[in-house]
Structures are given as C-alpha cells and as structure tokens.
Amino acid sequence: MIEAIPRPKKRLFLALILASLVVAALSGYGIWRVSFPGLANISEHLPILLGCLLAVTILLIATGVTGIILAILGLPTLSFFQELAWSAINLLFPLAIRIGKLLDFEKERVERSFIEVSNYLIKKKHIHIKAENLLILTPHCIQQESCPHKITRDIQNCRLCGGCQVGDLLQIQRKYGVHVAVVTGGTLARKVIKTLRPHAVLAIACERDLTSGIQDVFPLPVIGILNYRPNGPCCNTRIDVVQVEDAVRAFIQNGK
C-alpha cells in the first residue's frame, strides 16, 4: 500500500501570490521614486513614462492574479485572463517561494500548492484530446535501481517482471494508446516533447521537477502527479496507478 501524500491547499499558493503582488507593487513604486530625480534631470517626461510602464506592468500582473482567483472560485474567465494568469504565476513564483521561506513554509509545501492550483486551472479548461496526442512522462527513478534493462530509450524493453511500476504504465499505454516516455531529466523531457509534439502532458515527478517542468513547457497543458519516495529521492519511486489512469481518462474522454 502506497502512503498517500497529504493533499495540498490551494489557498497557500494563492496567499503567497497575493503577497508577492503587493511586494512587486511596492518595489515598482520604490524604483520609480528612486529614479525620479535622475530621470527628471534628463527629461521631464521620463519619470512619467517610467511610472506608466511600471503601473501597466503591475496592473497586468494584478489582472492575471485576479484571473487565478476567479478560476479557483469557479467563475467564468476569458482566455485573455487565463493567459495573464499563467504569466503572473511565472513572474511571481520565485518571489512567492522566498516569501514562503520567510514565513517558515517548506519549499516543497509551496510547490505542492502550486501544482494543485495548476492542475485545477488545467482541469477547468475541460481539455479532451485523442489518445495519440497525450504523453505520459515519468522519471527513470520509477524503475527498480537494480534492473539491468534500460528503458529510457525504449520503454518496451521492460520485462514486466513486477519489480517496479513501469509495467503498469506499459499496460496503460497499451490499453489507451497514449505515449509513455521515461526520461533522465528535464533536457531529455523537453526533447521528447519536441519530438512527439503532444497536445497535453501527464507528468509524474517530484515537487521540484514538476514545478519547473510545468513552467518550462507553458502554454502546453500539463497535469502533474507527485510520485512517492519511500526510499528517498530519485530511488525506486512509486506512483498511484489509479490516479494516473483517472487523469488519462479525463484527457481522452471525448477525444479517443
């Protein structure tokens, strides 16, 4: 039996994003105030231009954050708001992590909350695609460490011995006709995505890799599923097969 990872609260990431927005707004004002005298000496119009630029930037970020909150509340949002929401997340996420650290929130806890928010936003889009356009990505640490059969180049090399859960992913692949790839890191993951050009990705990884991966491949829709690490990071990790299969069915419900 796999020990369940506690489901993170979306409100943690939302609170940190709002705090980050406030800090960004105050920083923008501080930059404008400090720059005002020097710019005014060059031209009386430069402080106004800088102020307008900073104000528009903060306004767009605030609009994106508003889009996130509206989506979480279940209210309809335009695609324009959704794009701004992701832009706001990408811009404010590093600051949110730092604020979380100052408030004594573990980085992994903040990342889990981010993944929960990201998954929710993707699910709200009700994306349905053909099975051949869905890619399941998983790190190589899902394979039994002592296994001599290399599966990073071809998952079909798996012998289905039951020693790890690679065989479970193979069964999902054969049942639904989706792509499955086992990768050794972000570089190979991006290469696989570039080669297969999927319309959506179901990614299995730890908090750090999921967080960076979701941001790296944006705007490609990604559902992130955390793996289990009973033997520590990057060693004989496990997955919730039911959760993976449910996510596959949700993606291809009307697309197969």
| Nearest by Cα to 200 from 88, 87, 122 | 122
The 10s digit of each residue's pLDDT in 135-183 is: 999 888 888 778 878 877 778 877 878 778 888 898 999 999 999 988 8
Angle of helix 46-72 relative to helix 79-102, nearest 10 degrees? 90
| Nearest by Cα to 140 from 207, 247, 233, 222 | 233
Instruction: For residues 228 and 240, give the distance between their C-alpha atoms in angstroms, rounded to a whole number.
Output: 8
pLDDT at 22: 93
Q: Do residues 162 and 96 make contact, with C-beta atoms less than 8 angstroms apart?
A: no
Please say whether the structural domain 131-252 has been given the CATH code 3.40.50.
yes
Instruction: For residues 225 and 123, give the distance between their C-alpha atoms in angstroms, rounded to a whole number.
Output: 13
Backbone phi, then psi, for 22, in 5-degree steps? -65, -45
pLDDT at 102: 93
Q: Do residues 5 and 226 make contact, with C-beta atoms less than 8 angstroms apart?
A: yes
Q: Do residues 85 and 67 make contact, with C-beta atoms less than 8 angstroms apart?
A: yes
- Parts of the chain with a pLDDT under 50: 1, 255
pLDDT at 21: 92
CB-based burial of residue 133 (10 Å sphere; 0-12 exposed, 13-18 middle, 19+ buried)? middle
pLDDT at 1: 46
CB-based burial of residue 74 (10 Å sphere; 0-12 exposed, 13-18 middle, 19+ buried)? exposed
CA angle 141, 147, 152 (to 5 degrees): 50
pLDDT at 150: 80
pLDDT at 77: 63
Q: Which strands make up the sheet holding 179-183, listed edge to edge?
A: 179-183, 134-139, 200-205, 222-226
Among all chains, which residue has been given the structure tokens 């499955």?
180
pLDDT at 7: 66
Segments making up each domain of the chain, as ranges: 10-122, 131-252
Longest dimension (CA), the chain: 75
Token duo for residue 247: 């996510």
pLDDT at 4: 53
**Strand runs labelled E in the chain:** 134-139, 179-183, 200-205, 222-226
Q: How many residues does the chain have?
A: 256
